[in-house]
Chain A
Amino acid sequence: MLKKIDIKPTDDLPGVIFDPQKNFFMIFGRILPEDGRIFFNPLLEWVAEYVKDPNDYTELHFKLDYYNSSTARMLTKLIVELEKILETGKKIKVVWEYAIDDEVIKERGEELKSISYLPFELRVIS
């Protein structure tokens, strides 16, 4: 089984927990690197391995305050990579969490949902 990822959030970079054993996947906080690739490429490599032999049901939670446009592209890449799970016959779902008054994050979730083939739930949190 893949080694779990547990990255603590900073001012500029998000927290990431990818834990296949506990079946818990979450990206949270704010993301504003100048070049999103430096942070995300290792995550993408991890996910590329994971999708070869994923859990029966994977639920990826996003709980973000803010992200920049360099990151938007990387999040999309992550989602596109996860679409490979659909080909294995196993289940996957994205849960996009947003605070009730946070229209910006809600709209961005809707946008990502519209370009993704994954089951994609927008979930308001209080």
Chain B
Amino acid sequence: MNNNTIFQFFNHLKNDKISFAYRGSFSNSVLAMATELIKNNMDAEHSKLRNKLSFLMIESFQNIARYADSEAFPEPETNSDFFMTRNIGSTFYIISANLVSNDKVASIRERLERVNTLDKKELNDLYREVLTNKQINQKGGAGLGFIEMVRKSKGKLPFDFVKASETHSMFFMQIELKNPNVESEQEPAKIEEAKAIQTLIAENDILMMHKGSFTSDAISPVLRMVEDNMNSMKLKVQKKIYHFLVEILQNISKHSYVINNDREGIFLIGFKDGVFNLGTGNYIENDKIENLKTQLDHVNMLSKEALSDLYRKYLREGRETETGSAGLGLIDLARETDDNINYSFTKVTDEYSFYSLTVKF
């Protein structure tokens, strides 16, 4: 992951009001956190969709477990299970991707094609029929999951299979939940976009991605989610990641450029060869760039010892800024990272630019 990757992600997601993606092994705690995160941070105009959205996220999540081939070891790892929720305009999208064995592809395809052609009454009939005929398949699903997804979302289920090996394919599926009370001129998102994002995430060894408006209220659930997902890591690594996110997200909430009342930002957590990569990005006013660059170059130039001295000096003597943080945040990040703070500014308009940071632990 580098600063270019972050910009690429941001561009893919530029119409997303909120989006969250996760790659790796799935547990119920990830599910609980993901649903909480989306529920807490979705725009108020969509609040009536909350319960439905949670329900559909759970169905989608469990669908991964139901159809995933637990025997298959994702090889290469780019085929790890993938889950994403995004909101564009009036529609929420829930995307899942997982490996299935090739001999199941035909039957999954058949079921999905069937539910995608039925109207409301036919769906209800099928639902009843499946329930009463007890034609339960060995995984206990009988396609009820798909039927429920279509009934609850009132939309189709776009899907695709991408051959991964001689024995397995990646199975992509997208649930679409539209808010009937909100007008939107946004183009609907196609499943191809989700596939492109999954590829980007997998190729960059990303574990978690979140884009949203990082106001102070929105930060707490994000932090809770990340924290709850780090239980297996060493405490020191946990605290470093946590610390980086606190400082950066609070920085976004204080200083990022406001567009339509939002302080949009993105963060990504990647892991490769024993090293954690963290990246963030947000908009910033062009006339703030020079000052920020100077500060970044300054802390990058200093040795760890010099950074510690400077930190202590600021602690004791202060360097009052408007928010009272005394520039400590940046010094602190610089001394905690194993490398430099890598940064980049990409001009978007005459008014503002895209500003990204990456650090390693």
B329 contacts A69, CB within 8 Å? yes
Q: How far is the CA of A38 from the CA of B320 in the complex (A)?
A: 15
Instruction: Judge whether B247 is part of the interface by a CB distance below 8 angstroms.
Output: yes
B240 contacts A68, CB within 8 Å? no
B315 contacts A72, CB within 8 Å? yes
Q: Which of A61-79 contact B (CB under 8 A)?
A: 66, 68-70, 72-74, 76-77
User: A11-B224, A101-B235 are known contacts. Are A70 and B324 too (CB-CB below 8 A)?
Assistant: yes
Q: Smallest Cβ distance from A94 to chain B, in angstroms?
A: 14
B325 contacts A69, CB within 8 Å? yes
Instruction: Judge whether A2 is part of the interface by a CB distance below 8 angstroms.
Output: no
Which of A14-22, A29-37, A118-126 contacts its partner?
A: A29-37
Q: Smallest Cβ distance from A12 to chain B, in angstroms?
A: 6
B314 contacts A73, CB within 8 Å? yes
Q: Which of A93-112 contact B (CB under 8 A)?
A: 101-105, 111-112
Instruction: Judge whether B332 is part of the interface by a CB distance below 8 angstroms.
Output: yes
Residues from chain A with a CB closer than 8 A to the CB of B235 are 101-104
Residues from chain B with a CB closer than 8 A to the CB of A74 are 324
Q: How far is the CA of A75 from the CA of B359 in the complex (A)?
A: 27
Instruction: Judge whether A48 is part of the interface by a CB distance below 8 angstroms.
Output: no
B220 contacts A12, CB within 8 Å? yes
Number of residues in B with C-beta < 8 Å to the partner?
A: 29
B243 contacts A76, CB within 8 Å? no
Instruction: Judge whether B141 is part of the interface by a CB distance below 8 angstroms.
Output: no
Instruction: Judge whether B40 is part of the interface by a CB distance below 8 angstroms.
Output: no
Instruction: Judge whether B239 is part of the interface by a CB distance below 8 angstroms.
Output: yes
Q: Smallest Cβ distance from A103 to chain B, in angstroms?
A: 5
B324 contacts A111, CB within 8 Å? no
Instruction: Judge whether A115 is part of the interface by a CB distance below 8 angstroms.
Output: yes
Residues from chain B with a CB closer than 8 A to the CB of A114 are 312
User: A37-B324, A104-B236 are known contacts. Are A73 and B220 too (CB-CB below 8 A)?
Assistant: no
Instruction: Judge whether A80 is part of the interface by a CB distance below 8 angstroms.
Output: yes
Q: Smallest Cβ distance from B80 to chain A, in angstroms?
A: 30
* Minimum CB distance partner of A10 in chain B: B220
Report the number of A-B residue pairs with Cβ-Cβ less than 8 Å.
Answer: 73
Q: Smallest Cβ distance from A63 to chain B, in angstroms?
A: 16
Q: How far is the CA of A47 from the CA of B329 in the complex (A)?
A: 26
Residues from chain A with a CB closer than 8 A to the CB of B239 are 66, 102, 104-105
Q: How far is the CA of A34 from the CA of B235 in the complex (A)?
A: 23
Q: How far is the CA of A68 from the CA of B336 in the complex (A)?
A: 13
Q: How far is the CA of A51 from the CA of B312 in the complex (A)?
A: 24
User: A34-B253, A66-B243, A103-B236 are known contacts. Are A115 and B328 too (CB-CB below 8 A)?
Assistant: no
Residues from chain A with a CB closer than 8 A to the CB of B48 are none
Instruction: Judge whether B105 is part of the interface by a CB distance below 8 angstroms.
Output: no
User: A34-B216, A34-B323, A35-B323 are known contacts. Are A68 and B312 too (CB-CB below 8 A)?
Assistant: no
Residues from chain B with a CB closer than 8 A to the CB of A104 are 235-236, 239-240, 243
Residue from the list A32, A36, A80 in contact with B324, Cβ < 8 A = A36
Instruction: Judge whether B242 is part of the interface by a CB distance below 8 angstroms.
Output: yes
Q: Smallest Cβ distance from B285 to chain A, in angstroms?
A: 19
Residues from chain A with a CB closer than 8 A to the CB of B315 are 72-73, 76, 111-112, 115
User: A69-B247, A69-B332 are known contacts. Are A35 and B324 too (CB-CB below 8 A)?
Assistant: yes
* Minimum CB distance partner of B330 in chain A: A69
Q: Smallest Cβ distance from B73 to chain A, in angstroms?
A: 32
Q: How far is the CA of A77 from the CA of B239 in the complex (A)?
A: 24
Residues from chain B with a CB closer than 8 A to the CB of A34 are 216, 250, 253-254, 323
* Minimum CB distance partner of A111 in chain B: B312
Q: List residues of B whose CB falls within 8 A of some A CB.
A: 216, 220, 223-224, 235-236, 239-240, 242-243, 246-247, 250, 253-254, 308, 311-312, 314-316, 318, 323-326, 328-329, 332
User: Which A-B residue pairs are the 3 nearest by beta carbons?
Assistant: A69-B328, A104-B239, A69-B329
Q: List residues of A whose CB falls within 8 A of some B CB.
A: 11-12, 32, 34-37, 66, 68-70, 72-74, 76-77, 80, 101-105, 111-112, 114-115
Besides A104-B239, A111-B311, A115-B315, 15 other A-B contacts (C-beta < 8 A): A11-B220, A12-B220, A35-B323, A36-B324, A68-B247, A69-B325, A69-B326, A70-B324, A70-B325, A70-B329, A72-B328, A73-B315, A73-B328, A77-B318, A102-B235
